Structure 1
């Protein structure tokens, strides 16, 4: 397949996305032009009106983007089938969010997770978490921009940085036209097409790989003494550092992070969120299984392995699939990454608007002005993320580092709702945990302690628990917020 065909695929993929995104956005805007100025959370929370299928698909795709596709392909190159734990971690996350944290947030009728911190611990904790959570989600946004660049680069041969610009423009349109409602309904359309494309691609690659099928792929690894690459349990070290570490980091961060909780806040009711779990968990969980298998084959395929861990997997699709399926598959990959990009740009923009601008400067901000400020924030954050995407760190490693920043918030919310709460305890816990996270990342402390391979979530989690429990046991406290209301 020549370069002209590649560009034809790219134009087809981009045309599909633009038609779906702009079409649905324009339709929603035409239906709700009057209601946006008066409906509560019309832009950021879809007026709290989303039905369970839309909530379920949006929850699944919000955390199914660059890390699940290119991050897992890249990680599989290095550690093998144990990478599937990244997907299992997100299934656990969705269970926690749909049975606890998402329900609590919806019950309190908040707009942002820092707002929940304000109800429990006061404005100081709210402001601290606002700044850090917005920064954390923006960090994820830069990785999603990188994923957009990889997709477009793979098809067209353009540099990844230029591909990120093209993808970022579409990603911004994904959300800026009609907000959360647009994200939800576009996701519902894209999710079906995504799974059809992925399954067909897996069948084609299974028939085309030059190793006598998947048994032949396994035989190559065994011949080279790399049997551990075929095991979902990997080695004891990988099970502790990557598998368990990823589960802990994902659950303790994303179950209280604005990016995932915002679709739950947009649900019609708590019952909608509970029902959405049965769609969100399988849609998200199965995806990693396909990607890990393709990543294992790409590492040993002489036709693509020379491209390295970041591009070998995507190149395998280009090598073995017919043009029509390449267009379908990459349209769906682009849709998945665009969904995460849209959620990741909406979340920090919402935090800025509600927790910083409105909370500190404009408490009388009306709904129409709120939507305008949020849109402006979306555009600025998207531009900054696209620029930063050119500096391409390992995707899954970067994600796990970012997740560790929100780990203390997870425990503080649980303690503050169901045990005891204290503003001083919350502020102290946050500061200590964040300082330890910084020391673990940027000093020789892990090496000095003989724990260089231990991910950030472990010291952050331990310090969060120790400091919060100690402080809440000693300082003057109030009863948990839900206990007080009972």
Structure 2
């Protein structure tokens, strides 16, 4: 057991989390209530903090161990997972993030209620919370692998340690704590990654990266070195990943909550030049390390989950191993923190406050949110060791929010029908589940095709057809002020009735 490395990693994480967490918790006590301090940091986060938090929110276990696994099977084509999130951030920062901040909502189900009413709000809230919790379990699995690599602990035991740290990452001061801890961690992480690539290159056997290239060529797997892989991979992985990522995460509470906490719309627009390159470059690093690990005969014996971590452990000096492991763990902790705060926010805003306590004080909201963070985090790390291959799980999870994306676009800019929204979501979710758990793909001759394609086709098709034939109201942003409509402008707009 590498006690020194483990101790260094834990000391760094605990010191940073407790130090900044307690500082900002104390600051919140001095601020006036009413600004959603715990959930949204009183909407005061600057561009750098929002950018880094958005980048790290979608940069966790799937980007690290998910890409290690995928690069083992599909090589450099796995980089498309990172590129897909870069496209996602561009799209989100220029559209949905701006809209959510403009409407001054606290949750995306609240935004859905403004467009389609309370029944769709409840449906989206339940599914979105479940989707994010699914991602939370994957982050727990990744943290378990980190600790299993450094010690003789099992993945399940490591997930418990990581989960406890992840809960501490958010319970002290909520969104403000997550944001500022992320800023420190991002700087530390990128310095560590650059040093890691230098040491890996210097520590390779004779031939260096040329030896890695020769390994794949000699094994008749030259396509593993190409970003475009094979035509089949471009359809089943690259394109599918871009579509599922953009159409799911761009309206997901997990990614949009940092934007809701920004100082202004102008602040969000500035994040484009920080968040996108930071996120995209990370995927290139991970895929490259994964390719090198498979070409390493010693590390390769451990298989796709542990080969890359083992290679890093064997190649890097102890101080850099500690640095890198702390950095990778920090990336996972960031996603874990947002993946626990986001569904907890949905419960607090859309269930607790909406149904049980409309006059809840900020202190009551903060207490309920903290309780939910602990419950969700504990539930996630307890099942983390039993999850399937990381990116396979992502494929099913992401497809759930595909119809919600189209409903938001159509409900803002064309027409709003609560019944159309309910039917579209219900049918698409049935199809998505059938695609994963029945022989439907084989029956249609589409076996092996990812969930995003049927979910996209059914969701978009039903959304357009049902809105065309069912009665409804004009889109929320349709009017003399167009897309520049504000929350104040909606005071006189008729809300959708319950159906």
Q: Which residue of 2 aligns with 1:17?
A: 13
Trace 1:2-401 onto structure 2 (pairs within 5 A): 3=1, 6-35=2-31, 38-210=33-205, 212-401=207-396
1:246-266 alpha-carbon deviations (Å, 9 max, x no partner):
000000000000000000000
* C-alpha contact (below 8 Å) 1:209/1:297 kept by paired residues: no
Query: Counterpart in 2 of 1:455?
Result: 450
Paired with 1:209 and 1:81, the residues of 2 have a C-alpha distance of 19
Rounded to whole Å, the distance in 2 between the matches of 1:213 and 1:472 is: 59
Does the 8 A contact of 1:250 with 1:400 survive in 2? no
Deviation of the 1:203 alpha carbon: 1.0
- Pairs aligned (count): 481
> Does structure 1 retain, via aligned residues, the 8 Å contact 2:137–2:381?
yes
Q: Secondary structure at the match of 2:386?
A: coil
Deviations 1:112-162, CA, capped at 9 Å, x for gaps:
001111000000000000000000000000000011111111011210110
Shift of 1:318: 0.2
Divergent runs of 4+, >4 A: none
Spell out, residue by residue over 1:306-355, the C-alpha distance to the aligned partner (whole angstroms, 9 max, x if none): 11101101111101000000011011001100000000000000001111
Deviation at residue 485 of structure 1 after TM alignment:
6.6
Distance 1:29 1:133 in 2: 28
Change (3 A) 1:188 1:180: same
TM-score between both structures, scaled by the size of structure 1: 0.98
Q: TM-score normalized by structure 2?
A: 0.95
Shift of 1:34: 3.3
Tell me the CA shift for residue 210 of structure 1.
Answer: 2.8
Structure 2 spans left out of the alignment, 5+ residues: 482-499
> How big is the alpha-carbon RMSD for the aligned residues of Structure 1 and Structure 2?
0.9
1:392, CA displacement in angstroms? 2.7
Give unpaired runs (5+ residues) of structure 1: none
How far apart are the structure 2 equivalents of 1:135 and 1:300? 38
- Asked if the contact 1:113–1:256 (Cα under 8 Å) also holds between the matched residues in 2, the reply is yes
- The Cα shift of 1:300 comes to 2.1
Question: 1:43 is paired with a residue of what secondary structure?
Answer: helix
1:211 shift after superposition: 5.7
